[in-house]
Chains A and B, each alone.
Chain A
């Protein structure tokens, strides 16, 4: 029978394992037998079962004693029973513990090193694993997709929300089992009837949305088809809200809650992770499918569940075809608009994947450095114990038995270190999570302690085996007669070279980590030093949202905010107060277009509706014209300098001031050339609105009495610490309307801290890893040099006795180590340069190959190396030839 090219092959790694302990002349026959049986089993039981069988037998081959010619005895030796094996391993363990007690300092050093290296990895594992690999809490997540429109504008394509009309068309795609949509805009509503009124986030979704997502409710049921038409409005709660507001009341289902005064019956509680599929909210209410004739309003998020067996490519081809049809039918709205489905997980983790992989890599580097130090330590210790090992070998212990003894010792150290590292990491993980709201997607990404424990145990054992095995194999080499062994405590030339290259490697890795950490920290400092164009200090912001019923007219809302702002300003310690539709740097919302009177060019801008006191509260100076007055008689607007320049491009020679002055009194249309006309009464500087890291935006300021974009936030500037006025702000609101809640009270410093959280998260981790790497490398350099000096002190003594100068002798000893360190640093710089494109995304307006930073890091590492080398070098220089020779 000819082997067809597609017939299954046994797993390569397993085959390699199976062959590892086979005698050369038997390997062919045994591997052949295994492969033959593998093929039979694959045909009979399936490939997966055959692979499992093969792996099992590969391991058995590895473990079967006597498989290897060198160990084969001439007489049949009874196989050790499992009981014997366990007993002897237990002996190894108890021996290891005895040794640890006998050399407490060396043991402690090894445990701390293991703890640092393993702890770093445990911490990053606990945070990164759920994000990168853990299954999502949705049924059959592989078939879940996020569907988005793809706009092509000016040669660039970008994804966008979906309009109801496009959603209606896309639902016809047969590649999808089902599609459902949610509203991208989350509203703040007042929940009343449970103590103080409080604000909750409300989102509306298709009634079958959570069924499509495959969310399992904690209590009751998710929303389901038909809920939108039910006679009594229904809602589902998020678990966190259920716990926080209703004390996890198991009888919640059937109760009615009041949202902005309207009653909703609770039908179920969903896990917090349900929010991953939509905009995160506290309460979800069902909505019927949106009307199919709205095309230019893009406010839907869409998820689709592929039919089993349908690929993403096939679905995308179908979506593209549907959108081509829509473009023909509705050329006005749908020209250059296509659609695509993306893997749900990719959408969720894509943005943070690279950051986490970099962090995982950095942690692995720390472990590598730690392992190299430990291997060095083990080599030194095993040399000291060379005599013990030789006695064991001479008394008939097999080499593998001696190796096992040494490996067990190192595994014990690693396990103790690993669990010490876990203890340290647990403390770190909590603070990491709080730092990383933007990176770690939700509270659902908490790893079970079993997973972390398993990871800790596995990584510890693995590192212990790696660290222990190599030195142990060397130490357990039979070396002839015992008599010779008594003096054999040196490393030899090859060993010294190996340790010098270990130092190079450690220094190189440390340099890379330090370079990244330095660049990241400089970036954070730069971000924090940015002037946003308004004053952040001593400012408090809070949300107030007015329910539609009681405050349905613009006049009602205006009156409310005028009164509330007045009362806020009267609070002792408050210098200025205002209300606005959104706060800069805190997820500002809407965008709209404006048109200069007489022009047709649409200019996009983020409109801010403000009470008159806002420029004083934010400390934004008026460049030209005036601010808003309490009652504007005609429609007016204030524009930022950039907006003014976009509406009326300045003449080439015109000074900015002159240009700003020239726009006062000009008119702009709201929205379209036919829109309402506003008169520009003032010009203010640009501010950073969306984020500290973006460019200043074009801004149009409108009086809140204007009616559009009603205020939802209040802001106060204080002369006392900002937090102190929060209670007074609350009671002022309660006096005005007890059904309203003051929500999310925060200082502007906190707003900025949230906005820079992911940057600080990355920095904290990189800085910690780099620091640990630096300390471990310094210890490594010290250890190697101390060892070399101690070992060669006799040689130094002879050289000195023969008349060599001390300086020359010292140079001889430490010279090659200096070369190793320099080579390592140079390699580190090179690797950092080569990797710079990977971490450039973590930086802010600076080059990933900044020469000053690179030079600074190399200088710093050099300095640390000198410090680490100081003591051993001095000892080398102070060797007394007489005592060194007498020691013989």
Chain B
């Protein structure tokens, strides 16, 4: 398989399943989201037990794609004096998510009975 290096990082590549979850969590959490809150949000809602490093790998990728941006917060005592990396979703991220949602809805249209109402 050949890759064109310049294509990498373009926003029009489709979102992965986990990327979607992280972006949705960012929308739910608002502008002051960070690793721990994202991990917990996904864990409590989906029941998936996630490694924190998995969240960070995905955040890294989303930032490279230009879908989110991050800034460094202040150190807090609960974190043993460490700082937070706060992330928020960019308009491009929202658009990508909307596109994914639309695709998903179009593709599942008429199949609701099959998947049930959860």
Contact = CB atoms under 8 A, between A and B. Distances in A.
B77 A1 contact: yes
Contacts, number: 78
A375 B8 CA distance: 44
A36 interface: yes
A696 B5 CA distance: 93
A32 B56 contact: no
A72 B58 CA distance: 11
Interface in A31-69: 31-37, 39, 57, 60-61, 64, 66-67
B8 A74 contact: yes
B69 interface: no
Contacts of B82: 28-29, 31-32, 35
Interface in B41-74: 51-54, 56-57, 60-61, 64
A76 interface: yes
With most chain A CB atoms within 10 A of its CB, the pick from B39, B77, B78 is B78
Given A32-B84, A36-B79, A66-B57, A75 B3 contact: yes
A26 interface: yes
B30 interface: no
**Main secondary structure on B side of the interface with A:** helix
A64 B84 contact: no
A33 B39 contact: yes
Contacts of B76: 32, 36
Interface in B63-101: 64, 76-80, 82-85
Given A61-B53, A66-B57, A29 B78 contact: no
A100 interface: no
A487 interface: no
B54 A64 contact: yes
A792 to B, nearest CB: 47
Nearest to A22: B53
B57 A67 contact: yes
A80 to B, nearest CB: 14
Interface string A1-26: 11100000100000000000110001
A67 to B, nearest CB: 4
A178 B82 CA distance: 53
B108 to A, nearest CB: 23
B78 A3 contact: yes
B53 A60 contact: yes
A9 B80 CA distance: 9
With a 10 A CB-CB cut-off, give which of B35, B52, B82, B84 has the most chain A CB atoms. Answer: B52
B80 A35 contact: yes
A57 B50 CA distance: 9
A166 B83 CA distance: 65
A30 interface: yes
A781 B76 CA distance: 56
Contact of B51 (A28, A61, A74): A61
Contact of B84 (A22, A29, A76): A29
A72 B57 contact: yes
Contacts of A21: 53
A2 B77 contact: yes
Given A61-B51, A64-B57, A31 B80 contact: yes
Nearest to A21: B53
B60 A60 contact: no
A39 B78 contact: yes
Contacts of B51: 57, 60-61, 64
Nearest to B65: A76
A42 to B, nearest CB: 11
B36 interface: yes
A728 B20 CA distance: 94
Contacts of B57: 64, 66-67, 72
A75 B8 contact: yes
Contacts of B36: 32-34, 36-37
Contacts of A60: 51, 53
Contacts of A64: 51, 53-54, 57
Nearest to B72: A29
Contacts of A29: 34-35, 56, 82-85
A60 B48 CA distance: 14
Contacts of B110: none
B9 to A, nearest CB: 8
A61 B3 CA distance: 29
Interface in A58-113: 60-61, 64, 66-67, 72, 74-76
Contacts of B54: 64
Nearest to B51: A60
Contacts of A67: 53, 56-57
Nearest to A74: B8
Contacts of B3: 75
Nearest to A62: B53
Contact of B83 (A1, A2, A28): A28
A428 B92 CA distance: 72
Contacts of B56: 26, 29-30, 67
Contacts of A57: 51-52
A34 B52 contact: yes
B40 to A, nearest CB: 7
Contacts of A34: 36, 52
A22 B9 CA distance: 23
B79 A32 contact: yes
Contacts of B5: 74
B116 interface: no
Contacts of A37: 36, 39-40
A647 to B, nearest CB: 76
A12 to B, nearest CB: 11
Contacts of B60: 72
Nearest to B37: A33
Nearest to A2: B77
B104 to A, nearest CB: 19
A731 to B, nearest CB: 77
Contact of B77 (A3, A26, A28): A3
Contact of A1 (B8, B39, B78, B84): B78
9 contacts: A1-B77, A26-B85, A29-B34, A31-B82, A35-B78, A57-B52, A66-B57, A72-B60, A76-B16
Interface of B: 3, 5, 8-9, 16, 34-36, 39-40, 51-54, 56-57, 60-61, 64, 76-80, 82-85
Interface of A: 1-3, 9, 21-22, 26, 28-37, 39, 57, 60-61, 64, 66-67, 72, 74-76
- The 4 tightest CB contacts between A and B, nearest first, are A32-B82, A32-B79, A33-B36, A60-B51
Given A67-B56, A74-B8, 12 more contacts: A2-B77, A3-B77, A9-B80, A22-B53, A28-B82, A29-B84, A32-B76, A35-B80, A61-B53, A66-B57, A74-B64, A75-B8
